[in-house]
Structure 1
């Protein structure tokens, strides 16, 4: 360690005159004592700063602290913790794969079964509404026959097929 020593300059005492008064002498002595106190304060703060630098050399990272726990925690406990974490990881991965496969099955089933069923239900509702607009489904037709798809008790002329919206003949 390097020790700094301040060399006092004699220029402080040199004036134009050879003689100094008591007041000037007291002021110069007081200014010197103030400088010495400031130097001591600076030296103390330098010493505190040096301690901080020494602490920085010994600071550990978080990873280094975790690695140091190897010496504290017994081997059996570390193995038990490691196996528990491996088991949790395995079951979590398995669960995520299973959830993905099940969601694929439900989505494709909905698209292949439920969506066409909903379309057919909508067509049936449209057909029932169309029949009710034509004059009432279920009333007997002329001659005791059931009305054809056209409904309303009126038979279409021969050779013309009756059709409703959404029904393909």
Structure 2
């Protein structure tokens, strides 16, 4: 039968050399709190952190994300390009067709207003000078002239 014997290591038996039991002692050369490591973290940029994630994400997922972003970007570029061209065509057509039409419409309105004004002047002349053109037209048509009120 096998008998187990515990063998003690000599390094555990001897006391280690270290700081004394002085309570005011602080370890200023500790590897945990070095200023060099703090500077490295401050110098790291967002792009560095994102590129470091490349190793965490599997290649198939990276390809899927990349193709999705590329497709979305191309659709957005196409949409902006198409809408820009459409706005250009519509605004140019409005200027080439709309401005002359608006000028012609305004001129037509002006002519209608002038005709109304002329008719009003004629009717005003008949009121001021009764028995002129209106009375003659009535006699020619066989109607008797009516006195003005």
Alignment of 1:127 onto 2:111:
yes
**Structure 1 segment 1-169 matched on structure 2, within 5 A:** 40=24, 44=26, 51=33, 53-59=35-41, 60-136=44-120
Deviations 1:92-150 (A, max 9, x none): 111111111111111110011111111111111111111111125xx9x99x9xxxxxx
Q: What is the alpha-carbon distance in structure 2 between the residues aligned to residue 119 and residue 125 of structure 1?
A: 10
SS in 1 for 2:33: helix
Q: What is the alpha-carbon distance in structure 1 between the residues aligned to residue 72 and residue 56 of structure 2?
A: 24
Give the TM-score taking structure 1 as reference length.
0.50
Deviation at 1:55, TM superposition (A): 2.9
Segment drifting more, 83-92 vs 59-68: 59-68
Give the TM-score taking structure 2 as reference length.
0.56
Which consecutive residues of structure 2, in runs of 5 or more, have no partner in the other structure? 1-22, 124-132, 138-149
What is the root-mean-square deviation in Å for CA atoms of aligned residues? 3.2
Which consecutive residues of structure 1, in runs of 5 or more, have no partner in the other structure? 1-36, 145-169
